[in-house]
Amino acid sequence: MPDAFGISEEVRGRTVLLRVHGKLDARSAPHLLEVGSRIRTRKMNLVLDLSGVTFMASSGLGSLLSLAEEFRQSENRVRLASPSPAVDSVIHLLNLHQFLNIDASEEEAFHALEA
């Protein structure tokens, strides 16, 4: 089921890559925030690959903003990679692309973290 929410995790050095797929809505948003917050408390960086997100509700966007703010207040960093059209349209509609660090691909995101 393409809309079924899921997160896969891959560790590369000091960075965790989370690939998110499915619907990011009120049911899945708390889970994403919990997983992301745990990575922050482990003092690691985070790359969120959102290419597989088929739909993002306002609550999904709210959880992304909350997570970005948590990382902003910490010593670690988070970058969003490959946002799907569903994600990209909302981010640009609300002019959030400056606040959220967005890269076209996972490689660009990792490169930006190393810089």
Toward another protein, which CB reaches closer, 18 or 110?
A: 18
Q: How far is the CB of 61 from another protein (least distance, A)?
A: 3
- Residue linked to tokens 């708390």: 30
Toward another protein, which CB reaches closer, 57 or 112?
A: 57
Q: How far is the CB of 94 from another protein (least distance, A)?
A: 4
Residue 72 contacts residue 104 (beta carbons within 8 Å): no
Please give the torsion angle defined by the CA atoms of residues 99, 104, 108 and 113, in that order, rounded to the nearest 10 degrees. Answer: 20
Q: How far is the CB of 89 from another protein (least distance, A)?
A: 9
Toward another protein, which CB reaches closer, 18 or 29?
A: 29
Alpha carbon separation from 49 to 1, 22 (Å, rounded): 19, 12
List residues near another protein by CB under 8 A.
25-27, 29-30, 33, 57-63, 65-66, 68-70, 72-73, 90, 93-99
Q: How far is the CB of 107 from another protein (least distance, A)?
A: 27
